[in-house]
Structures are given as C-alpha cells and as structure tokens.
Structure 1
Amino acid sequence: MTGTVTVGGITVILVKFKKKTSVELNWWLSKGLQPHSLRVTGIPLYAHESCVRRVFSQCGEIRSVSLQPSSGDHKKSHLPQSHTTMGYQQAMVTFKKLSAQKKALAMKYNDDYTLYDEDAEIKPITEVWTKDLLSSYDINTQKLEQACVHYMKSYDNRKEKEERVNRKLADEPDEDGWITVTRNKFSRPPKAVKAHELKTFKKKKETATLLHFYKNQINDSKMQRIKELKAKFEEDKKRIQEMRQQRKFKPY
C-alpha cells in the first residue's frame, strides 16, 4: 500500500519496531485541539517520547510531545486498589509551525517509519509494566517492616503462652485426679543419677564396641563359629577314643 491512507478523515501510517523486524502497528493521526497539534493513537506501551519524535521529526520542528494512556483501550486490573492497565498510548504532538502539522497528516502509509535503530538496546516490555505498576502504589516499606515485626512478636508471645498452659496441664492432675493429654509431648526432667552409677555408665560406653555391623562380618562370624564347633567335635572324638583305649570309658 503506497501513498497517504485516510479512514474517516484520520490518517493511518505503518510504524515498525525496527527496520528488520516483523513487529509493526498502525498509528492513527488526526488534528489536535490545540493549534499546530497532532493527536496520535495506537502507540504501544514500549514506545517512548523519543520514539514519537523520531517518527515525526521529518515533518518539522517539534515543540512538545505528551504521552498518556488511551482512554478507550483499557481493562480493569486484577490487583486491588490499582489504576487501570492500558494496552496502548496516545500522544499529543505540538509543532512550531502549522505546515509541519499538515505535512504529518499527509504522511505516506508505508515509508519505513521505525521506533528504534537496529543496534538499540531495548528493555523488555515486562520491565515497563513492572515499573508502571510499582509507581501506582505508595508503599511505605518502613511501616510495612514494623508491622511484620510487631505481628511476629505477638505470634511468638501467644505460642509461648499456649506452651506454658499445655505444660501445666500435662504435669498437674485436675480435681478428679485426671491428667489432660495434649497433642504436644513434653519430656519430664531426668532423674538424679548417683556419681558411681554415672562412672559405671561412662565406662561401659567407652568399652562398648559395635560388632557385626556389615553383612559380610555376620557371615564370617557364623563360619568361624562352625569351624570352632567342628574343631571341638574332633577334639571330643579324639578324647573319647583315648578313654576307650584306657578302658576308662563307661557309656552304660
């Protein structure tokens, strides 16, 4: 499509993100309310004031550019107490001369209008949305931190109080002699240990060794036991044979 394209008295131009990209949008140009001004709609959120100046700088000297969210392209945000999220922006471009405005309204539809150079580093659109969202909230981080600390202190105090009550119920019987069993298990303090018992326990602990820890050790110990039994059996047979020779063996 070549030449100037107008729809209902509104000029339409094709603007690309970069020259070698497939991302392109239609911008809609019409006369503004102020003299020498131009109203531009259909501007994406990732476009800045410098992008608008880049497109219309060929028409003439620009006095000012004002960007604002489009009133017709918005949806309510799912976040509470937040402003509406917009999908597009509109700009009011004011030229110094009236001839520049007329030249802008006569712009050709497809004349390689680009927002950025090929080597320009562009921030992701998510960063733009995040910055816009954060700017809509007035959050006092210091007050928020104090509120969190106060809540955690009150929570700790409440849990400590509940633990003391549960301990008291676990240790003391009621009027009928019953002890309330709670879900928390409280270990009673250990009984006093005498000095000589403590020494004996430490001595046993020092001399204790861990036997037959591995499976091969268990098998080896069994084989060794069988060998010992066989050797004892052979010794008993030899001893019985000797007693028979000495006529001292009396089985009956």
Structure 2
Amino acid sequence: MAPSTKKHGAGNACIIPGGFAVLSLKFSAESDTQHKLYVKEHRVRVEAKTHRPLDKTLFVLNVPPYCSQAVVSQIFSRFGAVVSVELSDRPGTASVPEIKLSNIFKPAEKQGFKVAYIVFRKAKSIQLAKSHPHNFPLVISTEKQPVTTGLQKWAEQYRKSIILPEKLQETVDAFMTDYDLRKEEKEKKQEEEAEEQKEDEEGWVKVTRGNKGTKARPHSEAANQKSLQKEIRKKKRKELLNFYTWQHRNTQKEHIADLRKKFEEDKQRISLLRAQRKFRPY
C-alpha cells in the first residue's frame, strides 16, 4: 500500500451513528471510485479471554470480496504492526479453529462482502485508524504489492488448484502414517484399561474411569446381566401400547370383563357375610 503524504490530523475523521468511523479505499492510485469501510474498537465482554484482545482489536465492516487476509493486513499496517487478521461472513463470537486435515483440499469460500477482526500489537493503533481522515483514501493495489482481480485472479486460482500427483501422494502417505499411529495408541490404551479391570484371584474387580464422557463399570458376569436386564426393561417401557384402534378396543373389553368378574365375586362375598351375621338364638 502506498504511504500517504498527508498526516492524520490534516483532515477530519467521519463518525457515523453506532460509533463507526468511515475509512475510504481506492483500488489503485488511478481509480476514481472509492469504497467505504466502517471501523470501530471491538468491545465484547464475552470474548475477554479469546484471541481478540478488547483494547487491541479493530472491528471492520464492508470488506470487499477481493481483499484477502494478507491484503487487509497490508492496508491497516500503516496504523501499526498487525498481529492477526480474521475474516468472517458475519459478525459473531470467536470460533475455535478447526483441525485442518489437509492443506490441499479446502472448502469453497463464499464470495461477498465480509467483516474483519484486526488485532494490533499496540493499543494506540486503534485510535490512529479511527482518526484517519475519510477524505484521504487508502490505496489497495500498488506497483510493489499488486492485488489481482478478474480473469487474472481466476487464472491464478486455477493454477494453484492443480495438484501434482507426487505432492498428493506425499500428503496421503503422511496422513495415513499419522492415522495408524493414533489408532495404535488408542488400541494400546484400551488394552491397558482392560488389563486393569480384570478380576484378581479373590474375585475383586478394579473399576477405573475411562475416556471423558464414558461411565466406568466392572466387567463381570453379574454386572453384565444386571445391565442387560435394565436395558430390556427400558426397551419395554418405550414400546408403543394401544397404537392401533382395534388394540384399544380389545383392551377396553378386557378391562370391562375384569370389572364384571370382580363385581360378581364381591356380590358373593357380601351374601356370605350377611348369612354369617344372621340372628340365631338357639
């Protein structure tokens, strides 16, 4: 990016509602059109312990699609040393970086305007960026550091997408070697846990806690039978009763028949009690 010949105090900063400062961008020195960025200091209490320091992070809106992380870092490096740049499709809390299994196969990026979180080395860089005059645009593409767009950019992306068979084979071999090592470590750990949970000579079982999120239980026949019976009872409770209409009618008929049978038995019992209480003087 071409350094500006004007000082920061030579113009006035433009502050809009919401506390955002307006920064003007020009793609090249010869461009007549300008693009507007909206920046302000990033202050979210929830993210106090993330990789976005509250006093050194600048929040940027309306980042053009042709601006990569390197280009954004290049633009804002005039205000101070940039530690990191994070581009996102929409504002949100800091996400945990996922483990990248391969540097070759990458998901397609969404094209469109983005938001950026820029972390500076010093806190004063935030104020320098916010106080930059909006009528002095920053130049993106220069002779020393050109930014490719259009057909040139597509051709460059296509060339980078072509993977040599030798390079691909090396990546696959490295991944499979790492996978085999992790698999052997997991099997070895499971064997050690099984050895620890075996019954000793007196029949005692040593119960140990397994991996996080799993319940430890003794590997004995009685415990296995108890667990099996518990699962059977749980399955029976989940079975659907009277799902069909005819099942519901049969259940009602059986219930009515049971009530009638119980009523007749109660009548006989009451008659017997009355006969036993009859007065007989001799």
> Under a length normalisation based on structure 1, what TM-score does the superposition of the two structures give?
0.42
Normalized per residue, the structure richer in strand is 1
Q: TM-score, normalised by structure 2?
A: 0.38
| Greater relative CO, 1 or 2 (CA 8 Å, sep 6+) | 2
